[in-house]
A and B are shown apart, each in its own frame.
Chain A
Amino acid sequence: MPTTLRIALLAGLLALLSNLAVIGFIYFRTHDEAAATVHQQVLEQGKVLADVYRSGGKPALDDAVEDTMTYADPQAAIALLAPDGRQIIGNLETAPATVLPMQEGYHNVLIRLRGQTTPREAALVIHRLPNGQWVISGRLAGEGFAIRETLERSLLIALVVAGLLGLLCGVITARYVGSRITAIAAVTNRISARDLSQRVPVTRAGDPFDRLGTQINAMLDRISALMEELRLLTDSLAHDLRSPVSRLRSAAHAATVASDPKEQEEQLGSVIRQADALMRILTTVLEISRSEALTSRKQFSWFDVGELSAELAEMYDPLAEERGASLEFDRPCRPIPLFGHRQLLAQAVSNLIENAIRYGSTGGTIKVNVEPGGRQIRVEVGDRGPGIPADRRDEARRRFGRLDSSRSDEGAGLGLALAEAIAHLHQGKLTLADNEPGLLTVLELPIHSQQSRAA
């Protein structure tokens, strides 16, 4: 599990670094503070001796030096030197002049006190008296160093512990993250193995993992819905192609067994017609998916919907008349501009008119109407035929959703589905309503999309 290991190491390293920063801070602060304390003490001691000399003169100073040597703690350094640097009284072992720069002020030096074997670091204040003698007072920094050493050891141990704890935290975090991700991965794995019903487990914590899971689940829901639609479509396509293919087959068979050349020619003509019908179905299915994929939007342009509808009404008028109906169209007095696909919209409207002629001619009048509006343009085709009951209208709109399956001569039940797909291409919709009596099909084409596109 290299990723878990990486996460663990990373967490451990981060813990180590942050601890290092904290420990470093503590270390330097303690060191600085110890040094500052010594400095302070030394300065004060020097000041006290100077005050003693100022108030009591040389004898008082001598007494004070004696007292300090006798009573002060063993870390204190004190001496009175002759002008040439020789020690008159004091507890310095080394000849001070050899190690001390004989000038006034504060100094950090290595010095050995009487009774000690090694020189140690000390802070000293050197002061010159008016008679030329020197007063030296100070402290060994040894005590501070001892504390520092203890501190350093503790800090080092703390650092190691912190590093180990960090590593442990890292392992735990990595395990947790890993298990959440593994759960999601397991689901996606099973999905790859074609089981789309799987869903990512979502806890109630609402953390980013849950959000990820919810997103994946929503995506899966959409995919399943699409797959189901696709499956239905493929099924119905395969099913609906069976009858034209079987007609094609029987015509071809009849042609092969026909003895009379005239009959044979007849059957071959039928073969071609059936093949054409098949091609038409396939082309329409293709056209629907093209429209749904919105690829034709680049061919959009401005045109007059009123003019287009008038043209189509005129085109279908003779056909309606032949089927015993009359086609009425009131031409709008003003142009109704629309930014869209003229050819496809013509096809959509013609599908609605053909549908009305095919199923509604018995009712007499078929009315085509275009209504301009502020937000949308409505193209309506209403017939006075039997209509479609409200609960079967969705079915009528589906691909291959021809309601009367016995009518196999005309149309594959794709007309309304294509009209709807073309409406979607224009961000509009197709509605089926009751024309009281008859069927009213309406293409609703919104205007907002056209303006935004034209701008």
Chain B
Amino acid sequence: MGRKILLIEDDRETASYLTKGLNQEGHSVEQATNGQDGLFRATDGSFDLIILDRMLPVLDGLSVLKALRAARIDTPVLILSALASVGDRIEGLECGSDDYLVKPFSFAELLARVNALLRRRESRVDPAEHRLTVGDLEIDPLSRSVRRAGKKLDLKPREYLLLEYFARNEGRVVTRTMLLEQVWDYHFDPGTNVIDVHVSRLRRKLDEGFEKPLLHTVRGAGYMLAA
């Protein structure tokens, strides 16, 4: 299930590294090395995802993004940027990007976000009405009730949100930063393992007493919910 990704990045080294990695994951990547060229290619709307560097020659990333959104092209956009402050991230998101990743990043982090964005595009049709199932886990987003093997799990509101996010990204790696951004809506980098503590609490409620664990730790990347 390869997808078409447009990579707008002027740094050749980063671009070839990303292209290689994304190709290995089965995606086809088209490259643009400046903002104007990138905008031109993006306007045909045939891409599933656009990875956009923020500082580009000719036309900067945010201008490309604004132009795209003004032209009603709603292809998901992931911004890559060396501008790492909270203000910069918020600015990028407010301009209409779907995600913001700060350089330097690990490829695992990028891939996790790319997959989440592609997935979101796939399941954009009334996500709340579908019952989510992962193995013997059943989640009802309407009543926010969770059952595993028929047994009701008692989750706190935040734990539920965490689990629902995992379930919507079933089988894909979810990083700690993604959890902080998507489940808590915070864009700073905590100096502690606060996210891990929440995940391990959820794991205790989810997997304790069951033979087969659902919530896995992916070393060097994050977590994954999979049957």
Residues of A that sit less than 8 Å from B by CB: 269, 272, 275, 279-280, 282-284, 286-287, 290, 295-296, 299, 311, 314-316, 318-319, 322, 341, 343-344, 346-347, 350-351, 354, 357-358, 410-411, 415
Contacts and interface: CB of A to CB of B under 8 A. Distances in A.
A318 B188 contact: no
Interface stretch (B8-16, B42-50, B128-136, B190-198): B190-198
B208 to A, nearest CB: 16
Given A272-B106, A343-B187, A346-B186, A319 B192 contact: yes
Given A295-B87, A299-B91, A347-B86, A319 B194 contact: yes
Contact of B190 (A286, A344, A350): A350
Nearest to A354: B192
B121 interface: no
Contact of A318 (B87, B189, B197): B197
Contacts of B189: 280, 283-284
B126 to A, nearest CB: 28
B201 A299 contact: no
B84 interface: yes
A27 B39 CA distance: 84
The 4 tightest CB contacts between A and B, nearest first, are A347-B188, A296-B87, A283-B84, A318-B197
A148 B188 CA distance: 94
B197 A319 contact: yes
A410 B191 contact: yes
Interface string B179-218: 0000010111111111001100100000000000000000
Contacts of B184: 311, 315
Interface in B44-95: 84-87, 90-91, 94
B192 A358 contact: yes
6 contacts: A272-B220, A299-B90, A319-B192, A319-B193, A346-B186, A410-B192
Nearest to B191: A411
Nearest to A321: B197
A315 B91 CA distance: 25
A314 B188 CA distance: 17
Contacts of A343: 86, 90, 186-188
B210 to A, nearest CB: 21
A120 B219 CA distance: 125
B104 A279 contact: yes
Interface in B81-123: 84-87, 90-91, 94, 102, 104, 106
A346 B86 CA distance: 11
B158 interface: yes
A interface majority secondary structure: helix
A354 B190 contact: yes
A344 B201 contact: no
B85 A287 contact: yes
A322 B91 CA distance: 35
Give the residue among B158, B189, B191 with the most A Cβ atoms within 10 A: B191
Nearest to B220: A269
Contacts of B192: 319, 354, 357-358, 410
Nearest to A279: B104
Nearest to B94: A299
A295 B85 CA distance: 11
Contacts of A319: 192-194, 197
Give the residue among B102, B104, B188, B189 with the most A Cβ atoms within 10 A: B188
Contact of B84 (A286, A322, A410): A286
Contacts of A415: 191
Contacts of A269: 219-220
Nearest to B219: A269
A279 B104 CA distance: 8
Contacts of A351: 191
A350 B188 contact: yes
Contacts of B104: 275, 279
A417 to B, nearest CB: 13
B201 A318 contact: yes
Contacts of B220: 269, 272
Given A283-B84, A315-B198, A344-B86, 4 more contacts: A318-B197, A319-B192, A347-B188, A410-B192
B198 A318 contact: yes
A316 B85 contact: no
Nearest to B199: A318
B162 to A, nearest CB: 11
Give the residue among A272, A279, A351 with the most B Cβ atoms within 10 A: A279
Contact of B85 (A283, A346, A410, A411): A283
Contacts of A358: 192
Contacts of A316: 194
